Amino acid sequence: MTAATTLRVARPTDQLAEVVRFYEIGLGFERLASFDDHDGFDGVMLGVPGASYHLEFTTTRRHRAGRAPTQDHLLVFYLPDDRDWQHAVNRMIAAGYEPVASFNPYWSHAGRTLGVRFMKKKAPAAPLG
């Protein structure tokens, strides 16, 4: 991969408005783009302007997306600065997203799981390999 590579995580949902609220209000992400009725799909791209990643959520009236496949289905954001981490947790709670029990006990020791399986992790990411 190069520095110009952009990661887009695309997920279907049956609750597009609530998912957008979660990421805009709870996380402070910005709406980068959106579309309506593109071949039967509506969608919103959310993220941080200029970042090399963003999230795309789509919905369609053709079929149900259903729920996440398991309780251990997480999206993890690493915030190594303690003040930034606490500010992010406080913003989520103020937006109405309470901590939830983690299916895997590791996540309870390493950070906080908020809302519908969103993890804020205090420590930096462990090296791969």
Query: What CATH number corresponds to the domain at position 27?
Result: 3.10.180.10
In the chain, pLDDT over 70 holds for what percent of residues? 84
51, 81: one domain = no
- Average pLDDT of 7-33? 92
CB under 8 Å to 25, separation ≥6 — which residues? 95
Domain with 25, as residue range(s), is 7-60
Q: Residue 8: in which H helix or E strand, if any?
A: strand 7-12
Confidence at residue 1, expressed as pLDDT on a 0 to 100 scale: 47
> 10-36 burial string, b = 16+ CB within 10 Å, else e?
eebbeebeebbebbeebbebeeeeeee
Residue 126 located in a structural domain: no
Is the predicted pLDDT of residue 7 greater than 70, yes or no?
yes
Q: Is 84 within the bounds of a domain?
A: yes
Residues near 102 by Cβ (< 8 Å), separated by ≥ 6? 108, 113, 119
Q: What is the pLDDT of residue 55?
A: 94
On whether both 19 and 55 belong to a single domain, the answer is yes
What are 29's two structure tokens? 């992400």
pLDDT at residue 121, rounded to an integer: 56
Domains in the chain: how many in total? Answer: 2
Q: What does the mean pLDDT of the chain come to?
A: 82
Q: How much of the chain, in percent, has pLDDT values that exceed 90?
A: 34
Residue 68 covered by a domain: no
Q: How confident is the model at residue 83 (pLDDT cuts 50, 70, 90)?
A: confident
pLDDT category at 17 given cuts 50, 70, 90 is: very high
104 and 80, same structural domain? yes
